[in-house]
Structure formats: structure tokens, C-alpha cells
Amino acid sequence: MPTIKDVAKLAGVSTATVSRAMMNPEKVSEKTRLKVELAVAESGFSPNVIARNLRRSESKTIVVIVPDIANMFFASIVRGIQQVALNNGYKVLLGDSIHTVEQAKAYMDLVRSKQADGIISLTAELPMEIRQGTEIPMVMACEYFPGFPIPTVRIDNRGSAKRAVDYLLDIGHSRIGCITGPMENPICVDRKAGYQDGLQQVNIESDEAAFEDGDFSFQSGYSAFMRLHQQYAMTALFCFNDMMALGAMKAATQLGIKVPQDLSIVGFDDLLFAEYTNPELTTIRQPQEDIGKTAANTLMKILQGGKANQDTIVPTQLLVRASCTSPKK
Amino acid sequence: MPTIKDVAKLAGVSTATVSRAMMNPEKVSEKTRLKVELAVAESGFSPNVIARNLRRSESKTIVVIVPDIANMFFASIVRGIQQVALNNGYKVLLGDSIHTVEQAKAYMDLVRSKQADGIISLTAELPMEIRQGTEIPMVMACEYFPGFPIPTVRIDNRGSAKRAVDYLLDIGHSRIGCITGPMENPICVDRKAGYQDGLQQVNIESDEAAFEDGDFSFQSGYSAFMRLHQQYAMTALFCFNDMMALGAMKAATQLGIKVPQDLSIVGFDDLLFAEYTNPELTTIRQPQEDIGKTAANTLMKILQGGKANQDTIVPTQLLVRASCTSPKK
DNA sequence: GTGAAAGCGCTAACAA
DNA sequence: TTGTTAGCGCTTTCAC
């Protein structure tokens, strides 16, 4: 593999000129630029980016920490991130933290060791240290810690959950079960609060028996519904994500509970498959790619030394499909 | 951020010794090793990996090219890759080629420019040049080109498809529709051949009207079924992946065709959601994480200068669930 | 077992 | 506009 030296020799100029011709073509005369371009083509030269990175002390790489790469919700966000990163000349290093803070920490160390310039975290399962702030250029998307000195891009979880519950209330339900996520997670706390806001507004008192925890997986939605069904008589169900909604739907079907006739279900996220469930899933849409793009743009701004918005809230939307109907009398 | 020089000064040794103490502790006396470790801890030194990479001319990074990161099928494979890569001290750079060879080429250039050591491609949409072989350490997973000088990890597509069709035949079907993928894709050619093998074995002649092309998306499965339904009377349907199977299932349901009573459906892949469709989807299981792990192990072997198997075939499995039944008389 | 020194390939002052 | 020069931070001979 030829180096910049070879090209310089071939073109009969100095390495500095070759470098300039490639990085700042306008700082070089037309003639020499052509010579250099020719030499580059002839030698098949491709600059060693590692060397460049070392010299300029930047890596043009960002790390995306996801808690679970097999979770479709994150995939779409990553796609959005990837798009703007690429447009800005950045590569995306994928970090699956598998829900452990040790892994997350390992990925954060990549910026300490200059292998990455910044981080976008799609999980709040991060080392405690960063609670007091961090010099690492970083933005969080979807998840967050309250009172955390890191810019975030997320939705109004509380308002969105309330929106879902309001809808169920509107069409006549009053006994609404709820399959939550892990309640250590602030966004779950928010969504639960939103659920309660909805009930409170119409003076229905909240019943702890209406809740069961899941962990956002299909399986957990299934088993949470099996438990919930034992302890709480309901005509509607709100799930904190689509995957659990689908799990619950399967459980209901197995129990001979018809959706939506006997049980209305609302999900959260609007994953690709939500349109293809049977019945089609009514859900709160999160603009996943937009979230990714916004997060990436925010990080780009920080990386360019700019000041980023502390928090960006992106809008959600209730998507009414076929999994809900008014309760039987 | 302190450099190795600072550590050396602090420990009262040379930079060479610090380097040795970290890379080959056994090449250094107990005493100096301790001194160095202390100095490292005290200064909070973290080696600049870029500089190391430059010096050793390796990046300890592999690139995974996926045609579509939002496709769940690839996500699980990536997870498998990530696991073994990490265990071997490699990072994973994610490359979403969005089904374009230009993007794929851009990612392949990362190894030319020393930013990555090797590539795992989950797509065959690659630049033609590599048909004549390439010096780039590379392995393909899932997809392949026939007669291609690159090690692959994949399944027996033809046999697996035949397996699916055999099953439908066994339970009494003889009119079996087929939603294929893009037929430029060799794995689709194989699967179609497998379908035909199955029919041929029981002397049913293949009918071109039984086929409709999809592109592996939910949406394409939906519309392919809508077309197929017009042109071919069938009691069973074989889809080249689960996403299209789900799309077709939705289309059938909309048309008042009951699954499985009026139409049996078999998918391919066994995505996470296949267990949660209504009815649950009978499908050919591909061991996605295993494929990823095997591909990564193969690449590791190549990177270590070893010779890799040209082709590894991993086994599939027919998963019988609820989306199929014998045809009505 | 340890240190001195060379240099990986590139970029960016600074001179000319 | 171009060349000279000095590193970026590390590893690795080669001496000692």
C-alpha cells in the first residue's frame, strides 16, 4: 500500500503539497493539483486515516450505546443516527451494552483512548460517575436521568401515556390494566404518571392491582398479562411498548379473550410490525428515525464546539388502529 | 490527558519500559512493573489507541456491512458477531449499506485506509471487483455469490425450502403459493429451487402463476399476496421470510381468508415475533446468533493469518406452530 | 531487564 | 504557492 511519500515522489512534489492537494485543494495551484491527482490515481493511494487521526487527534467516529441491539426499537434509531453521522463524515461504532454498566463504561472509554470522539447513549444504564457531569461529548436519546447534565433527545413520556389512556377513557373504558417496564427506569415512572394523570382527570382512583411490570420483551408482556388477568378485571390494557403489547395479545388470545371485543390494547413505540399484528395495534408513535437524527445532530453540534440544547422533546402521535373498541355493556 | 511520557517520568523509567509493562508484563521485573502500575493509576493514564494502532498498523476493528439495519433479521446476527468480536478484543463498526453498492464500497475502503482490519458482509450487494478475489480479509454471512472466492457462513437454502414445502405436502396440500424475494439474489434462486424440488418429488408440476416476488419487507408480502390471490388458487403459502409471511397473513385476513383454516402459511427465519403472530407462525428457523458468531470466528481466524473454511453451512430447523393445517376437503 | 532511538504516515506551523 | 521540519503517542528493534 503506497504512502503519501510515494505519491509525493511520483508527482515530484513534497508530502505537504500532496496533503494540501487532498485536504484543501484551493490552497494549491491548479497545475500541481492535477499532478497530484494523477499520482494518486496511478499509485492507487489511499490515505492512512489512522495516521491522520493521530496527527489531528480526532477519530471521526461516534459510539452508539444500545442496551440491546436485537430490540427493533433501537435499530431504527441507530439508522437515523447513522444517516446524519455519515453525512458529517463520521463513522458509527456500535456498542451493545447488554444492559450492563460495565459494558457501557467500556464503550465510554473509547473516547478517553481517542478511538471515538463522542457518544450517543440509548440507555440510562451508565456508570454513576457521569452524574456529576462528564467531559465526554455525549448525548442521551429516549432515556434520561432527571437532573442530569447531559443533553437529551426524547419524547414527552408522561403526556404521551396520558394521551393513550385518554383515548381508552374516551371510548368508554374505565378499567384499564397497565403493563409497565422496569420501574427503576425514569421513562417508566413518567409513563405511569401519565397513566395516572389520565384516570385522575376523570376521577377514577388508581388501583395498584392494575399494574404489572414487564421488561419490554415479548415474553414479559405475555407473562405479565397472565398475572394481571388473575388480579384485575379490565376491559382495556395499556402497554409501555409494542413488544409487550404483542405478548399480551397472545396471552389474551390463548385465554379466549378476544381483542378488541373483550379487551382493547394500546401499545407504545409503533414498531414496524405494529401495522401487521392481528388485530392491528393501536399505539403511540415515536418517530424513531427522527429521534436518531436529532440526537446525532445534537452531538455534531457539541463536537463542533457549539452549545447544544439541554433537552429536545420530539412529538409523538396516537395511531388509532384496530386493537381497541368500546367496551361491551 | 497524560501520555506514556508522563507515566515514564512519574515512574522514573523509560517510555519503552512503560510500554512493556503494559503489553508484556512478564518482560519486566516485578519491581518496575509495580512502579509503573502505580504511576499509571496515579496519573489516570489511558493509552492512546490510535497511536498504538498506527505503530502496529492494525485497528482491532471489524466492519459489519448490513443491507438494512432496521431489518430485525440482521440485528440478531450482528449481536452474535459483536459477542465474539469483543471477546477477541475487536470493536464492531456498523455499516448500513442501505442496499447500495456505493455505500458498501465506502465501508470496504475502511480497511484500505487502515481503519478496520476486516469485514463481515451480510449482503451480496457488493462491488463487482471482489469477484476476482480481494486481499481484504472478509467473510460473507447468509448471502453469497456462487463461485466466489470469499469464505461464507450460511444455511442450506435449497434444502430448507424443500423442507418447508415437504411439510405442506405432507399435511395434504398440493396448491402451494410462493412469495419469493428478489430473484437476482442467489439465496432466492436456491429457495425457489428447493420449493420446486419438493413439488417435483411428488410429481406436481410447477406453475409460474404460483410465484410472486417480494423484497423481504412486510409491505411487499402484503401486496404480493394481494396479487397472488388473483392469479392462483391455493390452500397453502410459502414465504421466503417471516416479515413477508406476516404481510401476507394480514392481506389474507383482510380478504376474509382464514389462517390456517383456509390458508396455511410457512415463513422463513424465525424472527423473534414469529412466536407472537396470530396464529403463531410455522417457519424455518435460522440460528441467527450462531451465524453471526461463526462468521466472526471465521474472520478472526483469517485475521490471525489462518486459513478459513471456504464455506460453513449451519443447520436450520422446521418449527411447526399454528399457522398451518390440512386443507379442507 | 532496561533505555535510546527510530519511525508508523500524516498534518500544520513556519519559512522561503 | 510550495517545501522544510517537527512532531502526534506509541511500540520495537538494538544495544547495553
Distance B26 CA to D13 C1' (A): 18
CB atoms within 10 A of CB A307: 8
pLDDT in tens, B6-24: 999 999 999 999 999 999 9
- Of A82, A217, A65, A71, the C-alpha closest to A130 is A65
The Cα B191–Cα B195 span in angstroms is 6
Residues A224 and A209: their CA atoms lie apart, in Å, by: 12
Which residues, other chains included, contact A25 with Cβ-Cβ below 8 Å and sequence gap of 6+? A33
3-state helix, strand, coil in chain A (%, to 5): 45, 15, 35
Question: Measured between CA atoms, how close is A201 to chain B, in angstroms?
Answer: 35
Backbone angles phi, psi at B189, to 5 degrees: -60, -45
Q: A320: which 3 cell numbers?
A: 388509532
10 Å Cβ neighbour count for A46? 15
Nearest CB partner across the interface for A79, out of B54, B96, B246: B96
Average confidence score pLDDT of chain B: 95
The nucleotide lying nearest B36 (C-alpha to C1') is C2
Q: Please list every residue in chain A whose beta carbon sits closer than 8 Å to the beta carbon of residue B54.
A: 48, 50-51, 54
Cell of B146: 456462487
pLDDT at B95: 93
Which residues on chain B are in Cβ contact (under 8 Å) with A70?
A: 72, 75-76, 79, 272
Pairing of strands A264-269, A118-121: unpaired
Q: Integer distance in angstroms from the first to the last C-alpha of chain B?
A: 78
**CA B62 – CA B69 distance, rounded (Å):** 16
Mean predicted confidence (pLDDT) in B166-186: 97
Is residue B255 a contact partner of residue B229, using CB atoms and an 8 Å limit?
Answer: yes
CATH 1.10.260, applies to A4-47: yes
What is the fold, at CATH topology level, of the domain defined by A157-286? Rossmann fold (3.40.50)
H helix runs in chain A, sequence order: 4-11, 15-23, 30-43, 49-56, 72-87, 101-112, 157-170, 186-201, 218-231, 242-254, 288-303
The answer to whether B79 contacts A59, with C-beta atoms less than 8 Å apart, is no
Question: What is the rounded average pLDDT of the residues B95-108?
Answer: 93
Q: Do domains A57-154+288-313 and A157-286 have the same CATH topology?
A: yes
Q: In chain A, whose CA is at the least distance from the CA of B59?
A: A50
Average pLDDT of each block of 10 consecutive residues along chain A (329 residues)?
A: 95 96 95 96 96 95 93 93 95 93 93 95 92 87 90 97 98 98 97 98 96 97 98 98 98 97 98 96 98 98 87 97 94
DSSP B281: P
Domain map of chain A by residue range?
A: 4-47, 57-154+288-313, 157-286
**Nearest Cα to Cα of residue A248 among A207, A209, A277:** A277
Provide the pLDDT for residue A305.
Answer: 85
> A41 - beta bridge partners?
none
- Listed in sequence order, the residues at least 6 apart from B45 whose beta carbon sits closer than 8 Å to its beta carbon are B2, B3, B4, B6, B7, B39
Say if CB B32 and CB B13 are below 8 A apart.
yes
User: Distance between CA B158 and CA B163 in Å, rounded?
Assistant: 9
What is the SS3 assignment for A176?
Answer: strand
Which positions on strand C lie below 7 Å from a protein C-beta?
A: 1-5, 7-13
- Nearest residue on chain A to B66, alpha-carbon basis: A79
Pairwise CA distance, residues B179 & B243, whole Å: 11
Tell me which H or E stretch contains B264: strand B264-269
- The residue whose CA lies nearest the C1' of nucleotide C7 is B55
What confidence tens digit (pLDDT) does each residue in B274-304 have?
A: 999 999 999 999 999 999 999 999 999 999 8
pLDDT at residue number A148: 83
Phi, psi of A110 (to 5 degrees): -60, -30
CB B98 within 8 Å of CB B312: no
Residue B12 to residue B18: CA distance in whole angstroms: 10
Rounded CA separation A39/A4 (Å): 10
Sheet with A138-141: strands ordered across: A311-314, A152-155, A138-141, A118-121, A61-66, A91-96, B91-96, B61-66, B118-121, B138-141, B152-155, B311-314
Q: CB atoms < 10 A from the CB of A135, how many?
A: 9
Does any CB of chain A come closer than 8 Å to the CB of residue B49?
yes
Prediction pTM value? 0.93
Q: Are A319 and A283 in contact (CB under 8 A)?
A: yes
Please tell me the distance from the alpha carbon of residue B4 to that of residue A271, in angstroms, as a whole number.
48
Sequence-distant (6+) residues with CB within 8 A of B303 are: B117, B118, B137
Q: And the C-alpha cell for B250? A: 394480514
Among A61, A76, A222, whose Cβ lies nearest the Cβ of B70? A76
| Contacting A residues, span 253-312, partner chain B, CB-CB under 8 Å | 253, 272-273, 275-278, 280
Taking 90 as the threshold, does the pLDDT of residue B322 lie above it? yes
Nucleotides of D under 7 A from a protein CB: 1-5, 7-13
Q: How far apart are alpha carbons B232 and B248 in whole angstroms?
A: 14
Least CB–CB distance from B91: residue in A46, A47, A93:
A93
Distance CA B264, CA B260 (A): 5
Q: Is B315 left (phi over 0), alpha (psi -120 to 50) or beta?
A: beta
User: From the CA of B201, how many Å to the nearest CA of chain A?
Assistant: 35
Going by pLDDT thresholds of 50, 70 and 90, the confidence category of residue B132 is confident
In angstroms, the separation between the Cα of residue B272 and the nearest Cα of chain A is 8
In chain A, which residues from 30 to 89 place their CB closer than 7 Å to nucleic acid strand C? 45, 47-48, 51-52, 54-56
C-alpha–C-alpha distance, residues A118 and A314, integer Å: 22
In the predicted model, is pLDDT for residue B43 greater than 90?
yes
In chain A, positions 214-243, which contact chain B (CB-CB < 8 Å)?
218, 222, 243
Which CATH entry fits the domain spanning A57-154+288-313: 3.40.50.150, 3.40.640.10, 3.40.50.2300, 3.30.2270.10? Answer: 3.40.50.2300
* CA closest to A87 among chain B residues: B103
For residue A243, the chain B residues in CB contact (below 8 A) are: 273
Are A115 and B49 an interchain contact pair (Cβ–Cβ within 8 Å)?
yes
**Dist. CA A138–CA A303, nearest whole Å:** 9
Phi, psi angle pair for B169, to nearest 5°: -60, -45
- pLDDT score recorded for residue A315: 98
